[in-house]
Amino acid sequence: MLKKLINYVDYDGRERSENFYFNLSEAELMDMELETVGGMQKLIQLIIDKQDIPEIIKAFKKIIRVSYGEKSPDGRRFIKSEALSEAFTQTEAYSVLYMELISDANAAAAFLNGIVPERVAKAAAEAKAEEEAKEAAAKAEVDSKLAEVTPINGDASLLGK
């Protein structure tokens, strides 16, 4: 769960500083993954790779709306509804958050990592690190093979040619 302090000016011109809560449960993440052809993570990566700004914006709007809610006073529930999400999007706090997320990649990454359960974020980070390690090992192997067949300083005579 992400507790985000947002500073904004309301429609009466008053400066406000309020905490807002965002969360996606493992069940909600699974639903999003299964409802999206190819999976939500792959879709988001494809959108980012293509630099499809309208689709990136749509994805962020959806993520903000589905993750927004209010924590119950006893902390046992995270209450979400269309009405709560709609009410939040009608505030300047939403506008401040939205502008921050679409204009700052680090803020967007921190938001996404903050709204998922810690266990899920940790598993995703480990999977990414493992994938990067595999890619580095494959590149090192290719570089090693190339070094075996590439003449030093372009001198083909060293290869017996």
Residues 86 and 32 in one domain: yes
How many CA atoms lie less than 13 Å away from 105 in the CB half-sphere? Answer: 3
- Same domain as 94, residue 19: yes
Let me know whether 86 and 154 are in one domain. no
Q: What is the pLDDT of residue 154?
A: 57
* Domain limits for position 144: 118-161
Residue 10 and residue 83 in one domain = yes
Top pLDDT among 123 and 61 is at 61
* pLDDT surpasses 70 at 77: yes
Any idea which residue has 């070094």 for tokens?
Answer: 147
Longest Cα–Cα distance in the chain: 83
Residues 153 and 151: their CA atoms lie apart, in Å, by 6
Looking at the fold, whether 98 and 126 belong to one and the same domain comes out as: no
Looking at the fold, whether 12 and 67 belong to one and the same domain comes out as: yes
My answer on whether 72 and 102 are in the same domain is yes
Q: Which residues of 75-101 are buried (b: 16+ CB within 10 A; e: fewer)?
A: eeebebeeeebeebbebebbeebeeeb
At 113, the pLDDT band (50, 70, 90 cuts) reads confident
* Whole-angstrom distance, CA of residue 159 vs CA of residue 131: 35
Does residue 78 share a domain with residue 30? Answer: yes
- Are 33 and 53 in a shared domain? yes
Residue 161 CA to residue 159 CA, distance in Å, equals 5
Proportion of the chain above pLDDT 90, given as a percent: 42
Q: Which amino acid is at 154?
A: G
104 and 143 fall within a common domain: no
Tens-digit pLDDT profile for residues 30-76: 888 888 777 777 767 776 777 778 888 888 898 999 999 999 999 99
Do 155 and 112 share a structural domain?
no
Concatenate the DSSP letters of all residues of the chain into one string: -EEEEEEEE-TTS-EEEEEEEE---HHHHHHHHHHSTT-HHHHHHHHHHHT-HHHHHHHHHHHHHHHEEEE-TTSS-EE--HHHHHHHHTSHHHHHHHHHHHH-HHHHHHHHHHHS-HHHHHHHHHHHHHHHHHHHHHHHHHHHHHHHHSPGGG-GGGGT-
Q: Please, which pLDDT band fits residue 151 given cuts at 50, 70 and 90?
A: low
